[in-house]
Structure 1
Amino acid sequence: KFDMGGSAAVLGAAKALGQIKPAGVEVHFIVAACENMISGTGMRPGDIVTASNGKTIEVNNTDAEGRL
Structure 2
Amino acid sequence: MRDHPVIEQINRTGYPNMIAQPEHNGFDYFGSEILSGDEIVIDENNGEVVLKDNLEEYLSEVYEFRFTTAE
**TM-score normalized by the length of structure 1:** 0.23
Higher relative contact order (CA 8 A, sep 6+): 1
Greater share of residues in strand:
2
Greater share of residues in helix:
2
CA radius of gyration, larger in: 2
